[in-house]
Amino acid sequence: MTIDGMTDEGATTAADRRWLRRAIALSRSGMEADCGGPFGAVIVRNGAVLAEGSNRVTSDNDPTAHAEIVAIRRACAAADDFSLAGAVLYASCEPCPMCLAAAYWARVDRIVFAACRDDAAAAGFDDAHIYRELALAPDQRSLPMVALLRDEANAVFSVWNQKEDRIAY
Amino acid sequence: MTIDGMTDEGATTAADRRWLRRAIALSRSGMEADCGGPFGAVIVRNGAVLAEGSNRVTSDNDPTAHAEIVAIRRACAAADDFSLAGAVLYASCEPCPMCLAAAYWARVDRIVFAACRDDAAAAGFDDAHIYRELALAPDQRSLPMVALLRDEANAVFSVWNQKEDRIAY
């Protein structure tokens, strides 16, 4: 993947800073418009914007409407594809575990972010807490989890594994 | 939180098994209707269904449309609230990191699931892989991440911290 002549994954370019500044501008404009928290994201492929997003949790009453998720959903709609392979996600803040996992599912090639999870914590957001929780064994987490009926669910997975027209993702 | 007289968090009830079987039924019906992977979820509060969901990744071209995310978004829309405090999430499979983090953001009280992440892996899904990736330091992950312009993003967090009418979530 190359942006403006970037030749290795660790390198950053003027284009990276330009797209990341756009994500930061979206974090500010979304906040000012009372869309939600101060977070913005931009998804770029082949040097062009596929989609942008700001956090919309409180305006949409949607706890999943983080800037990155909004941008991923819009980018996939624009591309008419559930894969964003070849794309870069620019985010005004280090993605929370929900958004980072979404980036894996979306198959983006690379993430460039500005503020970190501790900066988000200082602004009142739970990103760092949720990262710590996910790293714990389920019975150590603050959110109780119980497992039941495993065989019944696995019977459905067996049907899936034998389904000839299944679409992998 | 009490469901049908459940008196401690580790205990499960006939109601838990009934709602979880509904989530498993949704995993099967969604798969059969070619909505996406074999996953279903139900969100229950005060003994009543707030919302249901099946995986819709491939039919909606939305990599974030896992059953749990679909159900959380629908439940919040039904409740007209970005918080699902007091609710239980029933999922046909252990939530992936995206969905588990979404459950934290949605403030559900408890999760009951059937199949586990290794069962999902055996059916071709990346849940266990993404759990391992998230636990790594960013520079150890297969998905490259770069941090830049931290101060510029933190300037927006400073405005947020001083914003008197901000809505926390």
The per-residue pLDDT for range A119-163, each reduced to its tens digit, is 999 999 999 999 999 999 888 999 999 999 999 999 999 999 999
Q: Do A144 and B96 touch (CB under 8 A)?
A: no
Residues of chain A with pLDDT under 70: 1-11
Rg (CA), chain B: 18
Distance CA B50, CA B109 (A): 14
Instruction: Note if A68 is an active site residue.
Output: yes
Q: Taking the CA of residue B78 as centre, how many other CA atoms within 13 Å lie in the half-sphere pointing to its CB?
A: 17
Distance CA B32, CA B23 (A): 14
For residue B12, the model assigns a pLDDT of 83
Q: Which residue has the tokens 């978004």?
A: B73
**In the predicted model, what is the mean pLDDT of chain B?**
93
**Nearest neighbour of A64 by CB, restricted to B69, B109, B129:** B69
Q: What is the mean pLDDT of residues B3-10?
A: 42
For residue B141, the model assigns a pLDDT of 95
Which H or E run includes B71? helix B67-79
Give the pLDDT band (50/70/90) at residue B138: confident
Q: Rounded to the nearest 5 degrees, what angle is found at the Cα of B64, between the Cα atoms of B61 and B65?
A: 70
For residue B10, the model assigns a pLDDT of 56
Tell which of A31, A32, A64 to mutate to test the B interface (max B CBs under 10 Å): A64
State the nearest Cα–Cα gap between B123 and chain A, in angstroms: 6
The active-site residue, picked from B9, B32, B52, B68, is B68
Query: Per DSSP, what are the bridge partners of residue A49?
Result: A44
List CB contacts of A141: < 8 A, sequence separation 6 or more.
A133
Q: Taking the CA of residue A52 as centre, how many other CA atoms within 13 Å lie in the half-sphere pointing to its CB?
A: 17
Q: Which residue has the higher pLDDT, B128 or B8?
A: B128
**In the predicted model, what is the mean pLDDT of chain A?**
93
The three-class DSSP label of residue B151 is: helix
State the nearest Cα–Cα gap between B94 and chain A, in angstroms: 8
CA B80 and chain centroid, separation:
18
State the nearest Cα–Cα gap between B102 and chain A, in angstroms: 6
**Nearest neighbour of A156 by CB, restricted to B31, B84, B133:** B31
Query: Per DSSP, what are the bridge partners of residue A90?
Result: A42, A112
Distance CA A164, CA B9 (A): 41
For residue B117, the model assigns a pLDDT of 94
**pLDDT over 60 at B6, yes or no:** no
Q: So what's the ipTM on this one?
A: 0.93
Give the pLDDT band (50/70/90) at residue B44: very high
With beta carbons under 8 A apart, name residues in chain A contacting B111. Answer: 143-146
Residue B41 structure tokens: 């979820």
Give the pLDDT band (50/70/90) at residue B139: confident
**pLDDT over 70 at B7, yes or no:** no
Q: Do B58 and A146 touch (CB under 8 A)?
A: no
Laid out side by side, the sheet with B110-115 consists of A145-147, B110-115, B87-93, B40-45, B48-54
Q: Do B124 and A161 touch (CB under 8 A)?
A: yes
Give the pLDDT band (50/70/90) at residue B5: very low
Distance CA B117, CA A48 (A): 36
For residue A2, the model assigns a pLDDT of 37
Distance CA B68, CA B132 (A): 20
DSSP B34: T
Q: What is the pLDDT of residues B79-129, one digit of tens each?
A: 999 999 999 999 999 999 999 999 999 999 999 999 999 999 999 999 999
Q: Residue length, chain A? A: 169
